[in-house]
Amino acid sequence: MCRCGVTEPFALQGFDLAGFVSATLAEDMGEGGDRTSAAVIPADAVLDAVLDSRDAVTVAGLPIAAAFFRALDPACTIEILVPEGASVPAGTDLMRIRGKARALLTAERSALNTVQHLTGIATLTRSYVDAIAGTGAILLDTRKTLPGLRALEKYATRTGGATNHRMRLDDGVMIKDNHIAVAGGVEAAVHAAKAAGLRDVVVEVDTLDQIPPALAAGADRLLLDNMPPPMLRQALALVAGRVPTEASGGVNLQTIRAIAETGVTYISVGRITQSAPAADIGLDFA
């Protein structure tokens, strides 16, 4: 029985899925294609196979896996057995596929690499979401993603129950420590952002004495960086509910609950994309 959490239609806005599939297959096949399958598999052989999980996972990326198989065998039949965002036990069948054996085996590695990676991210993300359940805190992802895979990895965190932070540098305003240092201080940096007509300005602070000037200058949200829970409580007392707050820096599964219980609005975690192990998912002859 699957435990379904965040389920949403598969959508990757602004992401060239066909281009990604094509480039990934080209990388794997090279100029000569799958020499092994061509040599040992009869041209007319048909493969019936099942994509299954050997781990307990939160599933993400099955439609992408299907796209790899269909790219090499457009006539193959695919049945996706569980929805995106479903949490399933080890041994669950995720997808059934039938088609040309050579084509499906050629696509196998690319399909598995992608769904293993995305499911690993979604599974780790769900662990963090579960760890803060009931606190009211919202888990955010970050821009700490593999180059070229941000849309996919942020899709996986969203599928695991997180909320996407900004996708790109033009997708939001975040004044961080180096901006502050170069600008000449918190107030100067915030004033400059406001003077440029920027809205929803997030300001990173790592000391309590930066909070009053940041608020006075018009910060719309504060990122409380690398503050342990006692310091977070002091920071929240200074903020007094005037703006949303975000805790960030060094957050892990052992610390996130205590951070959430301080009352911060958001907690951003880079580990859910940087440190997620690949899920153990395989394609087995049926």
User: Are both 83 and 171 inside the same structural domain?
Assistant: no
CATH code for position 178:
3.20.20.70
The answer to whether residue 7 is domain-embedded is yes
Say yes or no to pLDDT of 44 above 90. Answer: yes
Please tell me the pTM assigned to this model.
Answer: 0.93
Verify whether residue 144 is a known catalytic residue: yes
Q: How large is the average pLDDT for residues 252-276?
A: 97
The answer to whether residue 109 is domain-embedded is yes
The answer to whether residue 137 is domain-embedded is no
Look up the domain containing 221 and give its range: 163-268
Say yes or no to pLDDT of 3 above 50. Answer: no
pLDDT for res 13: 74
Catalytic residue among 55, 84, 225, 246: 225
CATH code for position 13:
3.90.1170.20
pLDDT in tens, 10-43: 567 778 999 999 999 999 999 999 999 999 999 9
Verify whether residue 109 is a known catalytic residue: yes
Catalytic residue among 141, 204, 220, 246: 204
* DSSP string over the chain: --EE-S------TT--HHHHHHHHHHHHHTTT--HHHHHHS-TT-EEEEEEEESS-EE---HHHHHHHHHHH-TT-EEEE-S-TTEEE-TT-EEEEEEEEHHHHHHHHHHHHHHHHHHHHHHHHHHHHHHHTTTS--EEE--S---TT-HHHHHHHHHHTT-B---SSGGG-EEE-HHHHHHHTSHHHHHHHHHHTT--SEEEEE-SGGGHHHHHHHT-SEEEEET--HHHHHHHHHHHTTSS-EEEESS--TTTHHHHHTTT-SEEE-THHHHSPPPP-EEEEE-
pLDDT in tens, 51-78: 999 999 999 999 999 999 999 999 999 9
Verify whether residue 225 is a known catalytic residue: yes
Verify whether residue 204 is a known catalytic residue: yes
User: Are both 92 and 116 inside the same structural domain?
Assistant: yes
pLDDT in tens, 104-127: 999 999 999 999 999 999 999 999
Say yes or no to pLDDT of 128 above 50. Answer: yes
The answer to whether residue 155 is domain-embedded is no
Catalytic residue among 96, 98, 166, 176: 176
Catalytic residue among 98, 109, 233, 257: 109
The answer to whether residue 21 is domain-embedded is yes
User: Are both 247 and 281 inside the same structural domain?
Assistant: no
User: Are both 96 and 184 inside the same structural domain?
Assistant: no
